[in-house]
Amino acid sequence: MKLLLQKPVLLFFAFGVFLTLLLFAKICITGFVIGGDGLGYYAYLRSMLVDGDLQFANEFLEYNQFGQGVPNPYQRTATDHVPNRLFIGPALLWVPFFLVAHALTILAEHFGFPLEPDGYSVLYQFFVGLGSIIYGLLGLVFIYKIIIRFFHRNVALLSTGLIALGTNVFYYLTIEPTMSHSMSMFTVSLFAFIWVRDIGNRQKKAVVLLGLTAGLMILIRPQNALFLVLIVIEWLGVLKTESGFVSNFRKQIIEVGLFGIALLLALLPQFVVWKIIYGHFLVYSYGGAIFNFANPHLLDSLFSAKHGLISWTPALLLALVGVFLFLWKHSKIGVALIIAFILQWYLNASCNFSFGNTFGGRTYINCSFIFAIGLAMFLTMTKKWVVPTRFLLAALIAWNLLFVAQYALGMLPHEEAVDFKLVWHNKFNVLREIFSIFSKII
């Protein structure tokens, strides 16, 4: 254990192996990996690389054979394309993994295995799921790298581990890896790492890299655009606190220009896709999402039994307390983080806060780096109470993992409020169910 703590890369690798084994088990049990919004993201990938177009009718018809909920394959846009409300970012990140699966499928077919390079087989699905896991792991690595800039390495490992095992991040790394959330965590954490690393000493290359990363995180989920407030706050702070107003103003103008150009370049694939599918470079494709900014469900979004962030993931209550405590030592960065979270909170609460079939507040997963900093601060403040704190962390992780298992096995309602008494009473039944399932696989 001491060696693992000294070499965090071994811990991340071991966790990656564990997640890969769970992915393999999911395929053995269900026969598929891609589901939910992953169907829309994957349609981009398969259509571009197999069919050479963005005509999704055949992809969605094929999925419909499995009874999956995909867009209407008979609906058409002005350019005679099937609409796809989702962004293209996840498909772009999956490209290397799809190509590996495609090459292996062709090779297997050559040696007589019954596989067709059609983009639908289990091999394709496995590698796409593996890609999401790897990006999720990289997101955790960048979270860890952010935390060690402020806290001890052991605290960073514990807080990162709690994000991985004690929140709904675990569900979207294992049960539904082809949703965008693991990749959203990766891109936002990368953006936040670059932002934190270069605060006060940002060179032109770093500004361009930050802009490209910002574009990528928006390509994954458009709500991630709200994290641009971090760089905006930095620019405003430089203007107010540094000497040499004129020279700094010129520097800021250059930075804003470089950042904006890099951001637009990164977003270019989405503009092209919209032009092809809808006939316009700028489109609001989320036509089904209804926002009520005048009446947000702020408390429900956090505490409702119907997928509330804190009610389903109590570890994040400690995280939010820790973020406010973080203000004492790092007031400027702390304020920026709190503002970024509040914007995400307000947006999520203004939409359908429960987001249908979802494990907890999945739209908050992009805030994982903020939660991890808060957890690290909480652990630092409670370091005198080692035994109670460790017991609390173990209990929070056990609660989350058993909750995930119950939800995944259909022991709890997916779109309605849960009865937490039922969650508690199911804890032994779910262990027996898990043992039974894995004994059949083995």
Quick one: what percent of the chain has pLDDT higher than 90? 64
When pLDDT is averaged across residues 279-308 and rounded to a whole number, the result is: 86
Confidence band for 241, pLDDT divided at 50, 70 and 90: very low
| Predicted pLDDT of residue 41 | 94
Contact 217, 187 (CB under 8 A): yes
Q: Where is pLDDT greater, at 28 or 436?
A: 28
Q: What is the mean pLDDT of the chain?
A: 89
| Predicted pLDDT of residue 404 | 94
For the cut 80, the answer to whether the pLDDT of residue 286 exceeds it is: no
Q: Where is pLDDT greater, at 440 or 231?
A: 231
For the cut 60, the answer to whether the pLDDT of residue 14 exceeds it is: yes
| Predicted pLDDT of residue 69 | 59
Q: Where is pLDDT greater, at 190 or 412?
A: 190
When pLDDT is averaged across residues 269-283 and rounded to a whole number, the result is: 95
The pLDDT tens digits for 59-85 are: 888 776 555 556 777 889 999 999 998
**Entry pTM:** 0.93
When pLDDT is averaged across residues 202-215 and rounded to a whole number, the result is: 94
For the cut 70, the answer to whether the pLDDT of residue 322 exceeds it is: yes
List CB contacts of 32: < 8 A, sequence separation 6 or more: 66, 122, 125
Quick one: what percent of the chain has pLDDT higher than 70? 92
| Predicted pLDDT of residue 428 | 79
| Predicted pLDDT of residue 391 | 93
When pLDDT is averaged across residues 182-187 and rounded to a whole number, the result is: 98
Question: 246-250, 255-259, 337-341, 426-430: which range is least confident on average?
Answer: 246-250
The pLDDT tens digits for 140-184 are: 999 999 999 999 999 999 999 999 999 999 999 999 999 999 999
Confidence band for 242, pLDDT divided at 50, 70 and 90: very low
| Predicted pLDDT of residue 239 | 36
| SS3 track for the chain | CHHHHHCHHHHHHHHHHHHHHHHHHHHHHHCCCCCCCHHHHHHHHHHHHHHCCCCCHHHHHHHHCCCCCCCCCCCCCCCCCCCCCCCCHHHHHHHHHHHHHHHHHHHHHHCCCCCCCCCCCHHHHHHHHHHHHHHHHHHHHHHHHHHCCCCCHHHHHHHHHHHHHHCCHHHHHHCCCCCCHHHHHHHHHHHHHHHHHCCCCCCHHHHHHHHHHHHHHHHHCHHHHHHHHHHHHHHHHHHHHCCCHHHHHHHHHHHHHHHHHHHHHHHHHHHHHHHHHHCCCCCCCCCCCCCCCCCCCHHHHHHCCCCCHHHHCCHHHHHHHHHHHHCCCCHHHHHHHHHHHHHHHHHHHHCCCCCCCCCCCHHHHHHHHHHHHHHHHHHHHCCCCHHHHHHHHHHHHHHHHHHHHHHHCCCCCCCCCCCHHHHHHCHHHHHHHHHHHHHHHC
| Predicted pLDDT of residue 194 | 96
| Predicted pLDDT of residue 67 | 52
When pLDDT is averaged across residues 285-310 and rounded to a whole number, the result is: 86
| Predicted pLDDT of residue 245 | 43
When pLDDT is averaged across residues 195-204 and rounded to a whole number, the result is: 87
